[in-house]
Amino acid sequence: MSSPASTPSPTSSEALPFGRLTTAMITPFRPDGSLDLDAVQKVATYLVDGGNDALVLNGTTGEAPTTSDQEKVQIIRAVREAVGDRAKLVAGVGTNDTAHTIECAKQAEAAGADGLLVVTPYYNKPPQDGLRAHFTAVADATGLPNMLYDIPGRAGVEIKSETLIALAAHPRIVAVKDAKGDLAGTTKVLANTDLFYYCGADELNLASLAIGAVGIASVVAHVASREYRQLIDAVVAGDLAQAQDIDRRLVPAVETIMTKTQGAIMVKAALKLAGVIEHATLRLPLVEATAEQTDWLTTDLKQAGLIA
């Protein structure tokens, strides 16, 4: 078992594997559904300019289920070209097939990724022994640090605390993107490992940071990077009142983006409203936001102070 984690507050962003502020980045498409690498680079630059230490590419918000392995490599290379070494690039490589995940991990490493996001295998609902074997095999396959993605709402199975504690012994399993919403379970893992936690549920960002998460892997940060940077910095500085104020001001944005329909749909609509992307195209089975959803989004983003 790894040694217990120290209090995260004095830890500099540079000393963390993926910094503190990370956005799970969208994948822009042209109106015909083809990959728009120019827009990919524009969004990446916009996010890094907004204070992101790292970008998660080819995740669920990046519509990874509908992009090919070749497109995923193109995205990593395009983002690296755009942002250079100003941000770490964490490549989503997880599938529900261990052999395919290993292949994707090796391709991401060769393309220049700095780390891997490995989601719990979905749909086939493996037992915990299977999860341990899967994550270990992927971590063994490259020299990159791994962030495990615990999201039972999508995967159908959780990574239990005992499994995370066991996996923390692997030298390349260094972090968790936590979208499980089990703060007590997170505390248990933090108390028994040196894993770095990144909150993967925007509604729990402040709560997760308060119990010891070192950062966030956000969807809403597409339009609130500067605000989340300020929130994180306030927590690190011990200014809970300022962090609470920012967190509460962002409630309308979190609710409209994460609860009105699927997150990638609303984030693309939000980026279009903000003038960052020209097209809000998604690949089926996802569809663009309706006029009613866009009206809700506009109202709530204005209320949160994120658009004029």
**For the segment 29-47, what is each residue's pLDDT rounded down to a tens digit?**
999 999 999 999 999 999 9
The domain defined by 16-240 carries CATH number 3.20.20.70: yes
- pLDDT at 6 (0 to 100): 38
Cα–Cα dist 285/222, whole Å: 22
% of the chain exceeding 90 in pLDDT: 95
Residue 102 has pLDDT above 90, yes or no: yes
Cα–Cα dist 275/168, whole Å: 42
- pLDDT at 15 (0 to 100): 85
Residue 231 has pLDDT above 60, yes or no: yes
Which residue from 226, 216, 223, 215 is spatially nearest to 50, judged by alpha carbons?
Answer: 226
Q: In angstroms, what CA-CA distances link 297 with 61, 291, 307? A: 17, 10, 10
Average of per-residue pLDDT across 109-129: 98
Average of per-residue pLDDT across 170-183: 98
- pLDDT at 7 (0 to 100): 38
Helices (H), 118-239: 128-141, 152-155, 161-167, 183-192, 205-211, 221-237
Query: CA angle at residue 153 from 164 to 262, to 5 degrees?
Result: 130
Residue 1 has pLDDT above 50, yes or no: no
Sequence length of the chain is: 308
What is the band of 2 on the pLDDT scale with cuts at 50, 70, 90?
Answer: very low
Cα–Cα dist 185/191, whole Å: 10
Residue 149 among the catalytic residues? yes
- pLDDT at 308 (0 to 100): 86
Select which of 177, 260, 268, 272 is catalytic.
177
Residue 228 among the catalytic residues? no
Residue 9 has pLDDT above 50, yes or no: no
Q: Which residues are annotated as a binding site for pyruvate?
A: 61, 217
Mean pLDDT of the chain: 95
Q: What is the pTM of this model?
A: 0.94
Select which of 149, 197, 198, 228 is catalytic.
149
58 and 111 in contact (C-beta within 8 Å)?
Answer: no
Report the b/e string of 11-50 with b at 16+ CB within 10 A. bebeebbbbbbbbbbbbbbeeeeebbbebbbbbbbbbbeb
